[in-house]
Amino acid sequence: DVKVTQSSRYLVKRTGEKVFLECVQDMDHENMFWYRQDPGLGLRLIYFSYDVKMKEKGDIPEGYSVSREKKERFSLILESASTNQTSMYLCASSLETLRGGLTDTQYFGPGTRLTVL
Amino acid sequence: AQSVTQLDSQVPVFEEAPVELRCNYSSSVSVYLFWYVQYPNQGLQLLLKYLSGSTLVKGINGFEAEFNKSQTSFHLRKPSVHISDTAEYFCAVSDPGGYQKVTFGIGTKLQVIP
């Protein structure tokens, strides 16, 4: 079974703090993703990575950055947290396949519910 | 650009009744289609997917979906729901291969009533 773990289930931070969300997958997947999930908006892609040290912007990258120094680990960084970044953050990974590319089945972590006060 | 529309934000249904959750998509090319389920306080997990071949796709927990290209739909069905099916269901679409991202719908909350 693929396992995707996220460092925290719940996190409370203050406005202006630097926040790190960590994600680790144990199945040697090439592709990793960060989404935020908000009621009525579904999942929105923040950043993704298809290889170590590679990153691509998703739909809503503003206010976020990412780091992928090792294949199994993908970090999301909020440089200066703001209240509008209060959300559920979901990490996912997928296997790079000749047919599927970046777009085949994704495996999700349990999520981190971040509250910024 | 591809998009997904889930027409119902909430669907209440009595236990052991059938259910259909609707999903329509738009894409200019061929597609991959997915249904994911999210149980309370958990991440998403794959229910089923259509990549090619038979348009009727069977997934886990007794769910199935039918790809209808002419109607650009991929509705999810179950003939008899259980309390444990209470969850949020997400439809998703992607372009096969390449580096196009997956686009998710906004989700449908299925509430199974005892």
Query: A91-113, pLDDT tens digit by residue?
Result: 999 886 655 455 578 899 999 99
Mean of the per-residue pLDDT values for chain B?
91
* Per-residue pLDDT, A89: 97
Contact A103 B9 (CB under 8 A): no
Contact A103 B90 (CB under 8 A): no
The DSSP secondary-structure symbol of A101 reads B
**B1 interface with A at CB cutoff 8 Å:** no
**A103 interface with B at CB cutoff 8 Å:** yes
Q: Residue B16 and residue B79: Cα distance in Å, rounded? A: 8
Query: B22-32, pLDDT tens digit by residue?
Result: 999 987 677 88
Question: What residues have CB less than 8 Å from B48, skipping those under 6 apart?
Answer: B34, B35, B57, B58, B59, B60, B63, B64, B65, B76
Confidence band of B52 (pLDDT split at 50, 70, 90) = confident
Query: Look-up: residue for tokens 């580096």?
Result: B99
Question: What residues pair up with A70 in beta bridges, in sequence order?
Answer: A73
Of the listed ranges A40-44, A88-92, A99-103, B4-8, the least confidently predicted one is: A99-103
- Which B residues in the span 60-79 are in contact with A, Cβ-Cβ below 8 Å? none
**A111 interface with B at CB cutoff 8 Å:** yes
